[in-house]
């Protein structure tokens, strides 16, 4: 697919996409469209007020600059997320159609809003449009790729004013890089536990590192034993697949003389979570193939930073295993060791994410000494009950870091909501027999006690944040019949790192 920037709407052919919001700009935009399409303004605005995801498609007679114009409603307060969604939804509907070119109109006045600048507006629209071609039928015998964009010779045009050339180029580069990485990440999160095994993900990471330019080393079971990652090994005891532990590094020097701060990223990579002997109910159990959403976000962020050559220094750790049932599985009440040399009473084998993250956090902190430490994990059902599907829970001991992450969440459309970490919750993880236990046994504040558990393994790191993404990594959408991957965290981490790169 070729993407081309144009400055005039003449003779481009194909389908024109126009994002529109309600309000006084709508009238101005409609008049402009009337002028170049020759359609009367009343006809254009018929049953279209710019409401979110409202769509009006106008077909033009032969000889006009476009064969059709699609007006796409962005709603009253467009955000990165809502624009991306509206365009993705419309793009998805184009599957099976045969437009040989699509032009995204970045010229209308309703593009720029008080909470969204031009670059993010254009980027989110293009990102959404490109994601609309995603095809979840990974293991179907016959390929279903039938989006106009999948066809040879398809042309994508971006219509913008000459004065907006620089932000447009930046928006296009980011949207293309982001959407292609997000689609690759959707694939590994949507892949089931018998396909996306720890070894499969390790190989995926090695290949991505080679292709895009970041370092990956994959520790196999022997190396994991040698390193003493006992908590990861304990969770892996019931598995038919050996565990892997990935270490990722990417660094590009910024032009400033200041020391580049190193950011450490840890992702929960449970390739399937049965709950272990504290087994989960069977309803919706198949969705636990997505329990590596944190690992996927970290992999996606590394790939995107390397692809776009962002001047940052990042290191990452990804513990990979599934959590299964076997005669050799850890049992509730078992006491296990950990990389940090703390003993853990496993009161619930379904609280396995915090066990493998404990080793990931302690290992990365000790051996790579990041200035900021961030982990992402589909960690608790409790955060889903608290925040639902619209925001991830943010836990942090550093207010500045928390605020920076919240802001990155706002601009990237991947929202975070801060949760408390008071020491009052610490007693929830005190054990009678070991240094600590992995589950309080209480039905309350589960996401907070999980965060307090992780905190122990950060060894007092002054700038740590934990993102519980259980409600946002995987979800319902119009793009699949069942829940599917959301790619949550990639754009958030990238925008956070863009801010860090500006401070370096």
Q: Which residues bind Zn ion (CB under 5 A)?
A: 270, 273, 291, 350, 352-353
* Residue 297: its H or E element: helix 293-307
Angle at 138 between CA 133 and CA 140, to 5 degrees: 110
Which one of residues 220, 334, 348, 407 is an interface residue with ligand BES (CB under 6 A)?
A: 348
Q: Does 329 bind ligand BES (CB under 6 A)?
A: no
Contact of 342 with 436, CB cutoff 8 Å: yes
Q: Does 346 bind ligand BES (CB under 6 A)?
A: no
- Token readout for 311 is 């001047």
Compute how many other C-beta atoms are within 10 angstroms of the C-beta atom of residue 432. 6
Query: Between residues 236 and 501, which has the closer beta carbon with respect to Zn ion?
Result: 236
Kindly list the distances between the CA atom of residue 302 and the CA atoms of 178, 319, 494, in Å, as whole numbers in the listed order.
11, 16, 9
Which one of residues 180, 381, 431, 483 is an interface residue with ligand BES (CB under 6 A)?
A: 381
Which one of residues 197, 378, 396, 484 is an interface residue with ligand BES (CB under 6 A)?
A: 378
Strands (DSSP E) along 262-369, which ranges?
A: 262-267, 269-273, 313-323, 335-336, 344-345
In the chain the first and final C-alpha atoms are separated, in Å, by: 35
Q: In whole angstroms, what is the distance from residue 436 CA to residue 342 CA?
A: 8
Catalytic residue, from 169, 183, 280, 426: name it: 280
Select the binding partner of residue 5 from ligand BES, Zn ion, none (C-beta < 5 to 8 A, by kind).
Answer: none
User: Total residues at the site for ligand BES (CB under 6 A)?
Assistant: 17
Q: Does 439 bind ligand BES (CB under 6 A)?
A: yes
Backbone angles phi, psi at 340, to 5 degrees: -80, 5
Query: Between residues 209 and 276, which has the closer beta carbon with respect to ligand BES?
Result: 276
Q: Which residues are registered as beta bridge partners of 68?
A: 15, 59
Select the binding partner of residue 123 from Zn ion, ligand BES, none (C-beta < 5 to 8 A, by kind).
Answer: none
Query: Between residues 153 and 281, which has the closer beta carbon with respect to ligand BES?
Result: 281
Q: In whole angstroms, what is the distance from residue 179 CA to residue 488 CA?
A: 12
Q: Does 382 bind ligand BES (CB under 6 A)?
A: yes
Compute how many other C-beta atoms are within 10 angstroms of the C-beta atom of residue 217. 14
Select the binding partner of residue 439 from ligand BES, Zn ion, none (C-beta < 5 to 8 A, by kind).
Answer: ligand BES
Q: In whole angstroms, what is the distance from residue 177 CA to residue 193 CA?
A: 27
Q: Does 353 bind ligand BES (CB under 6 A)?
A: yes
Is 280 tagged catalytic? Answer: yes
Please identify the residue of the shown chain whose CB is closest to the bound ligand BES.
381
Query: Between residues 75 and 360, which has the closer beta carbon with respect to Zn ion?
Result: 360
Interface stretch with ligand BES, choices 41-49, 185-193, 381-389, 451-459 (CB under 6 A):
381-389
Is 108 tagged catalytic? Answer: no
CB of 271 to ligand BES, least distance (A): 11
Select the binding partner of residue 9 from ligand BES, Zn ion, none (C-beta < 5 to 8 A, by kind).
Answer: none
Query: Between residues 383 and 411, which has the closer beta carbon with respect to ligand BES?
Result: 383
The total number of residues written for the chain in this structure? 504
Which one of residues 68, 206, 285, 384 is an interface residue with ligand BES (CB under 6 A)?
A: 384
Q: Does 350 bind ligand BES (CB under 6 A)?
A: yes
Q: In whole angstroms, what is the distance from residue 335 CA to residue 431 CA?
A: 10
Q: Which residues are registered as beta bridge partners of 245?
A: 219, 319
- Token readout for 413 is 């459309």
Kindly list the distances between the CA atom of residue 308 and the CA atoms of 123, 142, 170, in Å, as whole numbers in the listed order.
14, 33, 10
Query: Between residues 90 and 241, which has the closer beta carbon with respect to ligand BES?
Result: 241
- Token readout for 295 is 């690992």
Select the binding partner of residue 348 from ligand BES, Zn ion, none (C-beta < 5 to 8 A, by kind).
Answer: ligand BES
Q: Give the footprint of ligand BES on residues 469-498 (CB under 6 A).
A: 470
Q: In whole angstroms, what is the distance from residue 393 CA to residue 418 CA?
A: 6
CB of 438 to ligand BES, least distance (A): 7
Query: Between residues 250 and 474, which has the closer beta carbon with respect to ligand BES?
Result: 474
Catalytic residue, from 354, 410, 415, 437: name it: 354
Per residue in 286-325, is it b (16+ CB within 10 Å) or e — as a string? eebbbbbbbbbbbbbbbbbbbbbebbbbbbbbbbbbbbbe
Name the residues that contact ligand BES, by CB under 6 A.
273, 275, 291, 348, 350-353, 378-382, 384, 439, 446, 470
**Residues classed as catalytic:** 280, 354
């Amino acid at each position: 697919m070729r993407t081309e920037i144009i400055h005039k709407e003449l003779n481009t052919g194909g389908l024109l996409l126009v994002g529109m919001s309600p309000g006084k700009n709508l009238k101005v935009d409609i008049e402009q469209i009337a002028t170049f399409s020759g359609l009367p303004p009343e006809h254009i605005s018929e049953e279209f007020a710019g409401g979110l995801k409202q769509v009006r498609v106008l077909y033009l007679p032969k000889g006009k600059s476009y064969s059709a114009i699609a007006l796409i409603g962005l709603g009253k307060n467009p955000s990165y997320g809502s624009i991306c969604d509206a365009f993705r939804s419309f793009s998805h509907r184009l599957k099976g159609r045969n437009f040989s070119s699509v032009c995204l109109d970045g010229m209308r006045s309703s593009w720029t809003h008080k909470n969204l600048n031009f670059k993010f507006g254009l980027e989110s629209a293009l990102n959404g449009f490109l994601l609309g071609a995603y095809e979840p039928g990974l293991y179907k015998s016959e390929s279903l790729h039938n989006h106009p964009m999948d066809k040879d010779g398809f042309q994508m045009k971006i219509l913008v004013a000459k004065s907006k050339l620089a932000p447009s180029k930046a928006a296009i580069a980011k949207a293309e890089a982001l959407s292609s990485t997000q689609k690759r990440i959707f694939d590994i999160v949507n892949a089931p536990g018998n396909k996306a095994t720890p070894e499969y993900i390790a190989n995926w990471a090695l290949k991505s590192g080679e292709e895009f330019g970041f370092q990956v080393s994959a520790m196999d079971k022997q190396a994991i034993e040698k390193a003493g990652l006992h908590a990861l090994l304990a969770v892996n005891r019931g598995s038919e697949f050996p565990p892997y532990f990935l270490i990722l590094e990417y660094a590009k020097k910024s032009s400033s003389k200041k020391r580049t701060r190193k950011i450490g990223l840890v992702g929960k990579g449970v390739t399937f979570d049965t709950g272990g002997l504290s087994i989960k109910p069977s309803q919706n159990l198949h969705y636990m193939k997505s329990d590596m959403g944190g690992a996927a976000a970290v992999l996606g962020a590394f790939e995107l930073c390397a692809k776009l050559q962002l001047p940052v220094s990042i290191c990452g750790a990804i513990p990979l295993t599934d959590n299964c049932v076997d005669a050799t599985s850890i049992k509730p009440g078992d006491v296990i060791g950990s990389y940090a040399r703390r003993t853990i009473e496993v009161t619930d084998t379904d609280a396995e994410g915090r066990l493998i993250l404990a080793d990931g956090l302690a290992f990365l902190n000790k051996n790579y000494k990041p200035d900021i430490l961030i982990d992402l994990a589909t960690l608790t059902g409790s955060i889903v009950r608290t925040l639902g599907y619209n925001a991830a829970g943010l836990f942090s001991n550093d207010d500045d870091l928390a605020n920076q992450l919240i802001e990155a969440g706002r601009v990237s459309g991947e929202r975070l909501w801060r949760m408390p970490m008071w020491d009052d919750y610490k007693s929830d993880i005190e054990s009678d027999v070991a240094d600590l236990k992995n589950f309080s046994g209480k039905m309350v504040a589960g996401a907070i006690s999980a965060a307090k558990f992780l905190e122990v393994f950060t060894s007092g790191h002054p700038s740590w944040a934990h993102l519980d993404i259980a409600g946002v990594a995987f979800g319902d959408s119009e793009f699949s019949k069942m829940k599917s991957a959301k790619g949550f965290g990639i754009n958030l981490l990238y925008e956070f790192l863009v801010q860090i790169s500006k401070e370096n």
